[in-house]
Amino acid sequence: MKKVGKQSYTLTNPVNITSTASIVGPKEKAGPLYKYFDQTLEDEFWGENSWEKAESKIIKETVNMAISKSGIASSDIDFCFAGDLLNQCISSSFGLRETNIPFFGVFGACSTFVESSILASIAIDGGFATNVVCASSSHFCSAEKQFRFPLELGNQRTPTSQWTVTGSGSMVLTSSGTGPFITTFTPGKIVDMGIKDANNMGAAMAGAAEDTIVTHFKDLGRDETYYDAIFTGDLGYVGKDLLLDLVKGDGYNIKNIYNDCGVLIFDKDAQDTHAGGSGCGCIASVFSGYIYKMLQEQKLKKVLLVATGALMNSTSMQQGESIPGIAHAISIEI
């Protein structure tokens, strides 16, 4: 490991992404990335009697699938890093309570997947672990119920609101292998842009994404020419445009290589998803499903994956607080 610049790190032994798995819900199945996911569900319940239990099942089966694909015995996995959006992260703790793997609960809102992979990379490169599994999940119905309005009310959604992805992504990281590899990372600081609209998360998180991407560039002496692609998750359409403007102001033009997982996962017009997808499961499933396969097929060779989180809850919104954002970045190369 080498610390580079202010807050970036290059790994001595790049961490190998041995396998990934993704399971998503019916709306994601109807979206443009449907063929990349390992499994797509017919409904939001998957045989369970609550949305929360369905979400737990989704993360559980996704983790089991990633471990199974890796060919590594579950007993040889040193750590599990996981988290989700539900209060007290119950999707992860209930879904993964039978894994019998030492468990670290992580909360970074929608940045959880990359936060987990940074912590896993630190553990592996530092010699503490050989095999680690990371996962995160979200569920449209459990999230709406918890953060917004009962779905039964049929409330109208604002144009800037995002659609929480029902899905989970998981990956098994190992100390050796043939790649793709996590080669560097830049953990984020909390950035508060003063946005107070819970239906405009993209705007609230764009500043954090800018801070992390620009810091990453400066620390490593890189710019937009280094990467084939930069993916954020999940700024959506509003946050994506804002981020492009913000980094342009810093002297970088990432337009030609940049996209957002929340933009990619749904067809905005056909699916009526307004500002795009969001939720811990969005970047997790889009990376584990789509981006990882692009790397394996060498259609992408150098990717910067930047997960963004909005660190609020429904009480803080009622109390008039602004929405602090955070963004964690890893680079993945073949």
Cβ nearer to a second copy, comparing 17 with 110: 110
In angstroms, give the least distance from the CB of 93 to a second copy.
Answer: 3
Cβ nearer to a second copy, comparing 198 with 257: 198
Neighbour tally for 175: CB within 10 Å: 18
**CA–CA distance, 164 with 208 (Å, rounded to integer):** 20
Nearest to 173 by CA among 246, 103, 136, 120: 120
In angstroms, give the least distance from the CB of 8 to a second copy.
Answer: 10
In angstroms, give the least distance from the CB of 130 to a second copy.
Answer: 9
Cβ nearer to a second copy, comparing 100 with 176: 100
**CA–CA distance, 50 with 113 (Å, rounded to integer):** 24
**CA–CA distance, 271 with 266 (Å, rounded to integer):** 7
Neighbour tally for 118: CB within 10 Å: 25
In angstroms, give the least distance from the CB of 101 to a second copy.
Answer: 7
Q: What is the DSSP string of 229-253?
A: EEEEES-HHHHHHHHHHHHHHTT--
In angstroms, give the least distance from the CB of 293 to a second copy.
Answer: 29
Cβ nearer to a second copy, comparing 123 with 291: 123
Question: Are 101 and 79 a contacting pair, CB within 8 Å?
Answer: yes
Neighbour tally for 74: CB within 10 Å: 17
Binding site for a second copy (CB under 8 A): 1, 3, 7, 9, 50, 52-53, 78-79, 83, 85-90, 93-94, 96-97, 99-109, 115, 118-119, 122-123, 125-128, 146, 187-190, 192, 309, 311-316, 319, 321, 324, 326
DSSP state for residue 108 in the 8-state scheme: B
Cβ nearer to a second copy, comparing 89 with 263: 89
In angstroms, give the least distance from the CB of 194 to a second copy.
Answer: 11
**CA–CA distance, 251 with 118 (Å, rounded to integer):** 27
Q: Which residues contact 33 (CB under 8 A, 6 or more apart)?
A: 264, 265, 286, 289, 290
Cβ nearer to a second copy, comparing 127 with 249: 127
